[in-house]
Amino acid sequence: MGEAIQVLELMGDDRIRYPFDDFVCSSVISGFCRIRKPELALEFFEATSSHKPGLVTYTALVGALCKLGRVDEVCDLVCAMENDGLGLDVVFYSIWVCGYIEEKVLVEVFRKMREMVDKGIVHDVISYSILIHGFSKLGDVDKSFSFLAKMIKEGLEPNKFTYTAIMSAYCKKGKVEEALGVFERLKDLGIDLDEFVFATLIDGFGRIGDFDKVFCLIGEMEKRGVRASVVVYNTIMNGLSKFGRTSEADELSKSVDADVITYSTLLHGYTEEENVPGILQIRGRLEEAGVSMDVVMCNVLMKALFMMGAFEDVHALYKRMPGMGLVPNSVTYCTMIDGYCKAGRIDEALEVFDEFRKTSIVSHACYNSIINGLGKNGMVEMATEALLELNHKGLVLDIDTCRMLMKTVFKEKGAQGVLDLVNRLEGLRPDIYDAVCNDSIYFLCKRGLVEEANQVYIMMRKKGSAVTIKSYYSILRRNLINGNMDQILPLLNSFLKQYGLVEPRVQKISACYLCLKDVDSALQFCGKTREDSLAFTFPVSMLKILIKNGKTLDAYKLVMGIEDNITLTIVDYAIVIDSLCKRGYLNEALSLCAFVEKKGITLNIVIYNSLISGLCHEGRLIEAFRLFDSLEKLNLVPSEITYATLIYAMCREGFLLDAEHVFGRMVLEGFQPKVQVYNSLLDSISKFGQLEKALELLNDMEAKYIEPDSLTISAVISCYCQKGDMEGALEFYYKFKVKDMSPDFLGFLYLIRGLCSKGRMEETRSVLREMLQSNTVAEIFNIVNDEVDTESIGDFLAVLCEQGSIQEAVTVLNEIAHTLFPVRRLSSYNQGSYEQKKIDEWKDLGPESATSPSSSFKSGLDFGSYDTTDLTNLTTNNGSYVTRPLLHSFDLYYSRIASLCSEGELQKANQLTKEMLSDMTGV
C-alpha cells in the first residue's frame, strides 16, 4: 500500500489532477481492508467526499464498515445511495449479509436475503460462495451445505472458492476427514489447487495437532508446484503455538520471510507459555527486521510486556502508536485496562479507560475489565458507576457484567451489599433490571441466603416486575431444604397463579411441599399428575428433603408407595437405604432391599456397604461378617469402604485379631488403607500396650508414604506409657514436635499422666505448657467451657501449672477426658485386664441359620427386632459407669475454684481443689 499511496499523492498533485473515479476509490478502500486497516479506508473515503462515489466504491465501503463491526451504519449508507439514485446489486447485498453473519445477527441475514428476492436480485456463484464462506467462518456446516444445495439446485456450478469455504467450515468443527474428502473431490474435478486451498486444509489439521499430516500436505504442495508462501507457514506456526510448541514454530520462522503476522503469532505463543526469554528473543528479531507493526501486533506485544511486568515499555508503545499511523482499537484498550487492573495499577487503568471513553469505540470488554478491576481493588462504588454509565449510553448491557459485579459486591459487603446494588440499579432498562433481580435471587439462594432472596422477591412484586420460574423455583427449593414451611405456602400460591401447574418444576415443588406435610397426599398428587402429564417425573429431591429433615421413615414410605410405572434409579434407592441404616431402621432397610430386587434391580456394593455399616453401628458384627462373606456369592467386589467399615467396628469393639485379618485381606486386594484405618488399628493396639506391633504398623505407614496425624501420635504415645517407657514416649513426642505435629488431647494426657506417675514433675509441667498452646486442645476446652458455662478452663489450668499444682491440673484433665471421651480410649492407660477378643462363631454360621421368613432379600439376613440399652446418659471412670450428675458436681467445684483464683485467694483455691479430688475419687 505504500507505493499505492505515493501514486495517489502524485494523482492529487495540482499539475496532474487525475480524477479519483469509482475504480480508484474502490481499489484504495479495498487495499486498506486487505492490510487490515479499515479505519484508514474510512478516512480516505471521507477525504475524497467531494468526488461522487459509485456503486463499486460504496460496496468496498460496506466491506470496511463490516470489518470494523459497524454493520448497522450500512443502513445510512443505503439511504444515501438511494438518494443518489443508485441501486443495490448482488455483490453489495452479499457483503452486507456477511457483515451481519460476522456479528452473528442471523435475523438480519435472512431479512436481507428476503429483501434481495423482493427486489428481483438473483444470487450468483459469487454471492452464494460469500454466504457459504460467511457461515463456514461461524462453523455452521449445516447452513453452509444448505446454501450449497440451493446453489446446485439453481443450476449454478460451485467453484474453487465455494468448495474451500465448505472445507473451512469442516475444519472449524474439527471434522478434518470430511474436509479432506472435499479436497479429494476438488482433485477429482480437475480444479487447480492453489495455496489458499492447501492453507485451509493445513489449518484444519493444525487445529487438531496432526502436524505429520500438515507437513505431508506441504510436501504435496511442492510436488504440484504450488509455492508455499509465508501465509501457509504462518498457519503452521499458529497451530504449533496453540499446542505449546512455539519453540518449533520459532525455528520454522527462521526459514521464511517473516512478516508482522509471523512475529505476532510467535509473541502470542510465547506469552501464553509465559516464556520470557522467548518473548525477548522475538522482540529483538522484530526490531532488527524493521517490520512495520500493525494494531494486532501492538496488542500482542502489549500483552507480552504486561506478562513480563514491563509496564513502562507498555506505556511507551501505547503512546507511540499514533506516530506509527496506528489507531488503538477495542482490543488495545481492553488489553491495557485489563493488564493494569491485574497488576493492581488501577490509576493507570482508569487513565486508559478515560481515553477509551473519549473515542467512538463500542466495547463491552473494556467496561467488563474496568468493572472487574475496580471491584477486585475494593472500589465497588466506582465499578457500579461504570456499569450505570454503560447502561446510560444505551449500549446492550451484558448480564454477565452484572453477575461479575454482584459476586464482587458480595465478596466485599456480603448479602446486604447485593441488596444495595439491586436498589442502585433500579434505573436500568426494565427488562435488564428484571433480569438483574431474578439473577440476584438465584445468586442468593445458591448461597443459602433465602431471607435476602425473599426481600428481592417482595421488592419485585411491589414494582410489578416479572419473577421468572427459575427465581420462584430457587426460593421455594431453598425454603424446602431449610424446612421453612410457613414461607412456602404464600410463595407457592403466587407461583401457581402466575404459571399454573403445567411446568414440570412447579409440579415437583408442589409434590415436595405436600411430602413434608403428608406423604399419602404427596403420593396421591404424584399419581394424579402422572395421569395428566406424561412429562411428569418423580421428584427425587423429595427423598433428599425428607431425609435432611429427619423424616427417613417417611422417605421409606414414599419409595414403597410409588406406582410401578415410576422407576427410581439404584442411586435413589441407595440414598434411602443408607439413611435407614444410619438411623437404625435395619428392618426397613432390608425390606426396601427386597422391594428393589423384586423390581429386577441388582443391588450394588454401595448399598451393601450401608447395610454392613448399619449392622456394625448396632454392634451386630456376626451378621455384618455374614453379609460381607455373601458378597462373593453375589459377584460383588468389596470396596475400600467395605473393609474400612469392618476394621473400624472391630477395633471399636476390641476384636483386634479379626481387624488385623481384614486389614491383611484389604492390602492383598490392592487397596491402599488411609490414615484413618491405621489410626483405628493403632488405637486398638494401644489398649493392649503392644508397642512393638504399633511401631511395626507405624513403619508400614512410613514405607507407604502415609502421613501420620495427631491420632497416630497419640496412639503410639499411649503404648509407650503403658510400657512405662517414658523416655521412649518423650523421644517419640519430640520427634514429631520438630515437624510441627503434636498429639491430640488424649495423647497429651497419656504423656502427662505417665510423667506425673514417675514423679517427673518439671517435665510434666513443660508438656502441660505445650498442651495448653495446642489448637486442638483449645477446641476441647471450648467445648467444656460451653458445657459448664463458666470462665476459660484453659486459663484455670495455666494458673495451676504456674503454681506448680501439677497433680491438681492432671485431675482436672482426667475429669474433662472422662466427660468427653468414651471408655474405649480412656481405658488404654489403666486397664491392664483388657483382653484381646476374636470373633470365631460367625464363620460357623451359615446364612440359612438366620433367614427371615418375611423377606426375600438375597443375603438371607434376619434384621428382626432387638433391644438396645440407652447409654447416652452414661460415661465412664476407670471402667465403671458414672452418671451426668458427676459432671455437674465438677462444674460447681470448678466455678468456685476459678472465682477464688481470680480474686487472688490461692490458698483457699488449693484447699477447695483437694476437697473436689476427695469427693470425686472417694479417697
Of the given ranges (219-223, 422-426, 436-440, 535-539), which has the lowest mean pLDDT? 535-539
Each residue's pLDDT tens digit, 306-352: 888 888 988 998 998 888 888 888 899 999 999 998 888 999 999 99
Residue 38 CA to residue 18 CA, distance in Å, equals: 24
Above 70 in pLDDT, residue 693?
yes
Q: What is the DSSP letter of 198?
A: H
Label residue 793 exposed, middle or buried (CB < 10 Å: 0-12, 13-18, 19+).
Answer: buried
Residue 119 CB-density burial (10 A; 0-12 exposed, 13-18 middle, 19+ buried): exposed
Question: What average pLDDT score do residues 555-584 get?
Answer: 83
- Between 29 and 920, residue with greater pLDDT: 29
Q: Which CATH architecture has domain 1-122?
A: Alpha Horseshoe (1.25)
Residue 321 class from Cβ within 10 Å (0-12 exposed, 13-18 middle, 19+ buried)? Answer: middle
pLDDT (0 to 100) of residue 638: 93
pLDDT grade for 646, boundaries at 50, 70 and 90: very high
The reported pLDDT for the residue numbered 914 is 63
Higher-confidence position of 391 and 20? 391
Please give the pLDDT value at position 681.
Answer: 92
DSSP per residue, 461-530: HHHT----HHHHHHHHHHHHHHT-HHHHHHHHHHHHHHHTT-SHHHHHHHHHHHHHH-HHHHHHHHHHHH
User: How many angstroms separate the CA atoms of 296 and 329, rounded?
Assistant: 9
Residue 156's pLDDT is 83
Residue 831's pLDDT is 36
What is the tens place of the pLDDT at every residue in 439-456? 899 999 888 898 899 899
Ranking 6-20, 162-176, 785-799 by mean pLDDT, the lowest is 6-20
Cross-strand bridge partners of residue 882: 875
Q: What is the pLDDT of residues 772-820, one digit of tens each?
A: 888 888 888 887 777 665 567 888 888 888 888 888 888 888 888 887 7
Identify the pLDDT of residue 256: 85
Contacts of residue 7, defined as CB under 8 A and 6 or more positions apart, other chains included, come to: none
What are the tens digits of pLDDT across the range 97-132? 777 666 666 667 667 777 776 777 777 787 778 778
Q: How many angstroms separate the CA atoms of 359 and 343, rounded?
A: 25
User: 691 or 923, which is more confident?
Assistant: 691
pLDDT (average), residues 885-894:
44
Predicted confidence at residue 498, as pLDDT, reads 76
The tens digit of pLDDT for each residue in 729-774 reads 999 999 999 888 999 999 999 999 999 888 899 898 899 999 988 8
Q: pLDDT tens digit string along 651-684?
A: 988 888 889 999 999 999 999 999 999 999 998 8
Task: Provide Rg for the chain, Cα atoms.
Answer: 40
Domain boundaries, the chain: 1-122
The Cα 522–Cα 516 span in angstroms is 8
Residue 429 has pLDDT above 80, yes or no: no
pLDDT at 254: 87
Query: Residue 860 has what pLDDT?
Result: 59
Per DSSP bridges, beta strands 880-883 and 874-877 are antiparallel
**Mean pLDDT, residues 701-709 taken together:** 91
Confidence at residue 903, expressed as pLDDT on a 0 to 100 scale: 57
CA pair distance 911, 913, nearest whole angstrom: 5
**pLDDT at 641 exceeding the cut of 90:** yes
Residue 850 has pLDDT above 60, yes or no: no
More confident residue, 47 or 301: 301
Which sign, positive or negative, has the C-alpha torsion 387, 389, 391, 397? negative
What span, in angstroms and rounded, lies between the C-alpha atoms of 89 and 112?
Answer: 12
Does the pLDDT at position 881 exceed 90?
Answer: no
Residue 898's nearest CA partner among 752, 820, 789 is 789
Where is pLDDT greater, at 830 or 305? 305
* Position with higher pLDDT, 898 vs 248: 248
CB under 8 Å to 344, separation ≥6 — which residues? 377
pLDDT score of 879: 31
pLDDT computed for residue 640 by the predictor: 93
DSSP 418: H
- Span of 73-82, 525-534, 578-587, 824-833 with lowest mean pLDDT: 824-833
Which secondary structure element, helix H or strand E, spans residue 593, and what is its range? helix 586-598
pLDDT-based confidence at 869, cuts 50/70/90? very low
Residue that the C-alpha cell 456503486 belongs to: 55
- The residues pairing with 874 across neighbouring beta strands, listed in sequence order, are 883
Name the band, by pLDDT with cuts 50, 70 and 90, for residue 877: very low
